[in-house]
Structure 1
Amino acid sequence: MRNLITDVAGIKVGHAEDERLASGTTALIFDQQAVAAVDVRGGGPGTRDTELLAPEMTVERIDAITLSGGSAYGLDAGSGVQAWLREHGRGFAIGPVVVPIVPGAIIFDLVNGGDKDWGRFPPYRDLGFQAAQNASDDFKLGTAGAGYGATTVNLKGGLGSASMQTADGVTIGAIVAVNACGSVTVGNSEHFWAAAFEQSGEYGARGMPPSVPPEALVPVMKGSPRANTTIAVVATDAALTTAQAKRVAVMAQNGLSRAIYPIHTPLDGDTVFAVSTGTKPLRDPVYALSEIGALAANVLSRAVARGVFEATALPLAGALPSWKDRFGGTR
């Protein structure tokens, strides 16, 4: 186990970033077409091909998912991933033609100090292609991929991932680009809201504070009304229908609620995809599904904290500090 979403068999992840741009893209490539669903809670989402993930829609499986910086410009990343898949003969077959199905979501990182004067066409299509080319079992956390330019209200945001196995041998993983309107720490302390779910000191082993100070419960949010959004994918090798994957996506949103405060505001576009690679039969259609959804929320909480814990500050004037800049490493 790598403690990454790629512990779910059949998933590879690749990043591409542009340091001058201070932004990047992450591609999740599935070895075989996967069942997927999505749940959107934020008030300002930016998404691609999410309507086709509804259970009543015709296309039942997808080839990849993109997570990207760049706000609406970043939706071009899906076209780059699509081009890579087409070159490899992947996609939804319509007669002699194949159309790769690549849903995606974006964060807003356009005002983080990077040079966004890219000319006529934004660079995200090329970044998407590069991310797909780079897909592998191992990938970087923190200031990487879709989390490269991410921030929270008080610390550098980033790209996080985590995984676990159930007693039945089902693997559950999560990946997230943390660009929250709110905070992942209890006020300005070293303690993560997600401390209760930490495994093996994966984000500093600081635990919860003895008590939560009243000032930590006062919502503190970024001043820019569109510089936000946390986007994530949870995945499992349990065989799920689209409707069951939708329930997992809904339940997994609780992972964001436990790790970020405040969350799902009108200033965010918080979006969670759920993916099933479908290699292991579901033990029970109700109880086992409930367990997977609950544990997916736990894994997503851990991924959020890891994304911020592993981040490094951008080398830009006025950039927010990283968690490690302020509090050091693991105790």
Structure 2
Amino acid sequence: MRTGLRNLITDVPGLLVGQAQDAGLRSGVSVLTAARPFTAAVHVMGGAPGTRETDLLAPDRLVQEVDALVLSGGSAFGLDACSGVADALRAMGRGFAVGDQRVPIVPGAILFDLLNGGDKAWARNPYADLGARALRSAAQHFILGTAGAGYGAATQNWKGGIGSVSAILPSGLTVGALVAVNALGSVTVGNSRQFWAAPWEEGDEFGGLGPAPRHPPQDAPVPRKRMGESTTIAIVATDAALTQAQAQRMAIAAHDGMARAIVPSHTPLDGDLVFAAATGARALADPLTDTFQLGHAAATCLARAIARAVFSATALPGDLQPIWASRP
């Protein structure tokens, strides 16, 4: 596999990402969208998820495509970002047709960043406005690290962030990942700067430090963040023509990448979740081999994107955790 031109999820043709954040709030929103609806699915592995409209992503539901997917900070308050995105899409004439009305389909997921030092004493929920702003900024290029849904994110020992990568399969199919990393676990080995995801790194996209050293023995890791403060939420995407059931299998496989990059992951205290998106631009030449390879690529991309999120984080006044780049 090789990376796409931008090494971002927007290397999947037709996909755009928009982001908005508020420095005072220390939180933000990331939105994946496209010019036309796309197939989407979801799989949840964490024990404490926060979601909107994920039930309609099951293969037996009426609506088979969505207009956007939202990743947001703000815990349950952040679900209002989906409303802002839906309102903005409706103003554009987008949405599922019901008589003379249009109802945009905008599933979303949130992470917990309410205790990161930002000003959370709002009189009016700010996330709808952040969602609308993120949608309006949708483009092929976007910022990694301290941006969007990852603006106020944290991990066990490093500042978190937003990450993205891409891969092009020998078949020509493109896969990408977008992730907001706010994990209970650690993305690095022990107290080192080396990422668990190192074996899957492409070039020096997150430091190029080489193979990870052996992890020091630890029979029973202790959570260092408080209950409910954690979650890693992600989107994996492809230009392949997939059914919702096939897209869900890709989301399930992508969780392997999360487990490779965050130790431990999928805990009862995390809300770990992966959306899958498929634009349908390219037919599967060999459905068995192609879906097999798509799952592997999705897992690999997600592992890389998680490391890249933490690698790209930048320092802000009042940070409660160090950035990866600060440690020698």
Query: TM-score, length-normalised on structure 1?
Result: 0.96
- Find out whether 1:193 has 2:171 as its counterpart: no
Give the match for residue 209 of structure 2.
Answer: 206
C-alpha separation between the residues in 1 aligned to 2:204 and 2:196? 14
Instruction: Describe the SS at the equivalent of 1:227.
Output: coil
C-alpha separation between the residues in 2 aligned to 1:203 and 1:219? 25
Q: Give 1:278 deviation, angstroms.
A: 0.4
C-alpha separation between the residues in 2 aligned to 1:221 and 1:192? 19
| Root mean square deviation of aligned Cα | 1.0
Structure 1: tracts of 5 or more residues without a match: none
C-alpha separation between the residues in 2 aligned to 1:16 and 1:199? 28
- Find out whether 1:311 has 2:298 as its counterpart: no
Indicate conservation of the 8 Å contact 2:196/2:212, yes or no.
no
Indicate conservation of the 8 Å contact 1:182/1:220, yes or no.
no
Question: Residue 97 of structure 2 is aligned with which of 93, 99, 123?
Answer: 93
Give the match for residue 184 of structure 1.
Answer: 187
Q: Equivalences for 1:59-138 in 2 at 5 Å? A: 59-119=63-123, 121-138=124-141
- Find out whether 1:259 has 2:247 as its counterpart: no
Indicate conservation of the 8 Å contact 2:233/2:272, yes or no.
yes
Aligned length: 324
Instruction: Describe the SS at the equivalent of 2:287.
Output: coil
Give the match for residue 228 of structure 1.
Answer: 230
Indicate conservation of the 8 Å contact 2:145/2:151, yes or no.
yes
C-alpha separation between the residues in 1 aligned to 2:236 and 2:284? 16
C-alpha separation between the residues in 2 aligned to 1:104 and 1:210? 36
Give the match for residue 39 of structure 1.
Answer: 43
Indicate conservation of the 8 Å contact 1:313/1:320, yes or no.
no
Indicate conservation of the 8 Å contact 1:192/1:207, yes or no.
no
Instruction: Describe the SS at the equivalent of 2:278.
Output: strand
Indicate conservation of the 8 Å contact 2:199/2:212, yes or no.
no
Instruction: Describe the SS at the equivalent of 1:72.
Output: helix
Question: Residue 170 of structure 2 is aligned with which of 156, 167, 170?
Answer: 167
Amino acid at match of 1:321: P
Instruction: Describe the SS at the equivalent of 1:21.
Output: coil
Give the match for residue 33 of structure 2.
Answer: 29
Q: Deviations over 1:56-81 (max 9, x none)?
A: 00001000001000000000000111
Indicate conservation of the 8 Å contact 1:219/1:261, yes or no.
no
Give the match for residue 284 of structure 1.
Answer: 286
Give the match for residue 146 of structure 1.
Answer: 149
Q: Equivalences for 1:286-301 in 2 at 5 Å? A: 286-301=288-303
- Find out whether 1:54 has 2:58 as its counterpart: yes
C-alpha separation between the residues in 2 aligned to 1:308 and 1:226? 20
Q: Give 1:300 deviation, angstroms.
A: 0.5
Q: Deviations over 1:151-187 (max 9, x none)?
A: 0010000000000101111000000000000100001
Identity %: 57
Q: Give 1:125 deviation, angstroms.
A: 0.2
Amino acid at match of 1:157: G
Instruction: Describe the SS at the equivalent of 1:287.
Output: helix
Query: TM-score, length-normalised on structure 2?
Result: 0.97
Give the match for residue 323 of structure 1.
Answer: 324
Q: Give 1:284 deviation, angstroms.
A: 1.9
Q: Deviations over 1:277-325 (max 9, x none)?
A: 00000122222101101111000100000000000133116x1000001
Q: Give 1:218 deviation, angstroms.
A: 4.7
Indicate conservation of the 8 Å contact 1:143/1:158, yes or no.
yes
Instruction: Describe the SS at the equivalent of 2:85.
Output: helix
Amino acid at match of 1:311: A
